[in-house]
Amino acid sequence: MESVKRRARVIVASRRAAAGIYADESGPILTEGIRNWGFELVESVVVPDGEPVSEAISQAISDEVDLVLTSGGTGLTPMDHTPEMTLRHVTRLVPGIAEALRLDARDHGITTGALSRAVAGVAGKTLIINIAGSPGAARDALRVLAPLIPHAVDQIGGGDHARS
C-alpha cells in the first residue's frame, strides 16, 4: 500500500525580498528541510509583509496543504504582522511549538529569540508555524521541529497516538 505524500508550502514575509532588493535566504533552507522530512513542496512564495501573508496562508489552506512554514515578520518592527495574519486563520493554537522555538533560542544563547511573537496553530487540516526570518532561525527551527512535525501532521489528519 502506497503512503500518502504530505504536502507543504513555505511563505516568506519580506517586503525587500519580494521587491527584489535582496535575495531571500531563509526560504531555501526551509524548503530543503521540508523535503528532507519527506514532504512534497507544493510551493515557496515570497510576499511583502502584512496582508499578502494572510492571502498566501488562505491559499495554502484552500489548497489543503498539510504544513505551512512562514519565515519573517515575527518581530517588533512596525511591518511585522505575520502572527496577526496567521491568527486570522488558525482555529486551534499549538503554543508548545512556538514556545519550543523560543526556548531553543534561549538555550543556545540567542537572547533576542524572546522577542519573537511567532505563533503556531491549525487551520482546517493545515498546521501553520511562524519562524523568524533569518537563515540561522530557519536552520534552528528545522532542528527543533524535525521530531515534532510528522506526528503533529498525522494527528491533525486523524491519526492515533503510537502505541508503545
What pLDDT was estimated at residue 3? 61
Residue type, 75: G
Please give the model's pTM, rounded to 2 decimal places. 0.94
Per the structure block, which three cell numbers stand in for 39?
514532504
Residue 25 has pLDDT above 80, yes or no: yes
Give, as one character, the DSSP assignment of residue 104.
H
Whether residue 44 is predicted with pLDDT greater than 60 in this model: the reply is yes
pLDDT for the residue numbered 75:
96
Q: What is the pLDDT of residues 132-144, one digit of tens each?
A: 999 999 999 999 9
Q: How many residues does the chain have?
A: 164
Percent helix, percent strand, percent coil in the chain, to nearest 5: 45, 20, 40
Confidence grade of residue 2 (pLDDT, cut at 50, 70, 90) = very low
pLDDT at 67 > cutoff 50: yes
| Helices and strands counted in the chain (H then E) | 7, 6
Strand partners of residue 87 = none
Whole-number pLDDT of residue 164? 54
**pLDDT at res. 1:** 41
Q: How do beta strands 92-93 and 120-123 pair? A: antiparallel
Let me know: does 111 contact 50? Beta carbons within 8 Å.
Answer: no
